[in-house]
């Protein structure tokens, strides 16, 4: 696979267009890809399982530290394009930090008291893409807050990269949630 993020221009409108196109390209590449790389899939699965564990365990700071500084997290509403359609959110690292901050803010009424979640990770497929790793996996989230339970299913696409010591980090994440177009309770808790 060769989607290559490196071509993104450094500044301005072209950079924004490039970032957005990169997300769309990742989504398209993963959906069209052939059989995954077995060894890479195993190591990526270990990392994605840890991501689920950090989020379910409310170790949000640990989760945030697994992102690269240029990270982007996109939750499209349907089959949209980030330059043309609303998203549930499209966050850079800074706004992800705000999302994490709200998780423990006592005046974030929709998140207080906090929810318990369990993320059930399906088969993880991974492909090399230059120095990065692209992955696809199905995800089932059960969310329980107070006496309310919500179940969500999603396909998640990760672009992972290796930092200096060789550990995997999240560079891009796309969460495709069909139920978004059907109407759901507030998702201010979703990471």
Partner 1 sequence: MNTEDALRPDAIAARGPDLSEELAHLVRPDLVHRRLYTDPSLFDIEMDRIFGGTWAYLGHESEIEKPGSFVRKRLGRRQVLLVRTEAGEVRGLLNRCTHRGTMLMAEDRGCQKRFTCPYHGWSFDLDGRIRNLPVADSYDRLFERPFDLGQLRVESFRGFVFATMAAEPLPLLAWLGPARRWLDEHIDRHPGGRLRVLPTAVIQEYRANWKMSWDNAADGIHATFAHRSYNLLGKEAETETVLARNPATTPMISMTLGHGHCVVDQRPGIPAGPWSTMRPLPTRADLEDALAARGEATAVNLDLATGNMVNLSLFPNLLFVGNQLMVVEPLGVDHTRVSMFLVVADGAPEEINLLRLRVDEDFVSFGTPDDLEMFERVQEGLKVVEEEWVDISRGDHAGDVVGEDGLVTGGISSEAPIRAYLEEWKRLMSKPIPTTVRRSRIEAAKFAGARPARAAGGVA
Query: What residue ranges bind partner 1 (CB under 8 A)?
Result: 11-13, 15-16, 19, 72, 77-78, 80, 82-92, 94-95, 98-99, 101-102, 105, 107-111, 180-189
Nearer to partner 1, 61 or 105 (CB): 105
Residues with Cβ within 8 Å of residue 76, at least 6 apart in sequence: 82, 85, 87, 88, 174, 176
CA distance 168 to 127: 14
Distance of closest approach, residue 101 Cβ to partner 1, in angstroms: 7
Distance of closest approach, residue 96 Cβ to partner 1, in angstroms: 10
**Is 61 in contact with 161 (CB distance < 8 Å)?**
no
Nearer to partner 1, 28 or 184 (CB): 184
**Is 74 in contact with 82 (CB distance < 8 Å)?**
yes
C-beta atoms surrounding 121 within 10 Å = 16
**Cα 158 to chain centroid, rounded:** 6
Nearer to partner 1, 22 or 125 (CB): 22
Distance of closest approach, residue 132 Cβ to partner 1, in angstroms: 20
Distance of closest approach, residue 122 Cβ to partner 1, in angstroms: 26
Nearer to partner 1, 53 or 93 (CB): 93
């Amino acid at each position: 696979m060769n989607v290559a993020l490196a071509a993104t221009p450094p500044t301005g409108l072209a950079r924004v267009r490039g970032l957005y196109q990169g997300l769309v390209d990742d989504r398209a590449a993963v959906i069209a890809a052939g059989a995954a790389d077995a060894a890479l899939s195993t190591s990526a699965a270990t990392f994605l399982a840890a991501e689920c564990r950090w989020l379910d365990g409310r170790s949000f700071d640990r989760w945030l530290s697994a992102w690269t500084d240029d990270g982007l997290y996109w939750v499209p509403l349907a089959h949209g394009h980030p330059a043309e359609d609303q998203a549930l959110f499209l966050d850079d690292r800074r706004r992800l930090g705000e999302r994490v901050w709200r998780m423990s803010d006592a005046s974030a009424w929709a998140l207080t008291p906090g929810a318990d979640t369990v993320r059930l990770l399906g088969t993880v497929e991974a492909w090399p893409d230059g120095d990065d790793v692209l992955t696809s996996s199905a995800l089932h989230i059960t969310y329980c807050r107070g006496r309310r339970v919500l179940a969500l299913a999603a396909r998640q696409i990760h672009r992972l990269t290796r930092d200096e010591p060789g550990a995997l980090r999240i560079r891009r994440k796309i969460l495709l949630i069909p139920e978004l177009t059907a109407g759901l309770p507030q998702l201010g808790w979703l990471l």
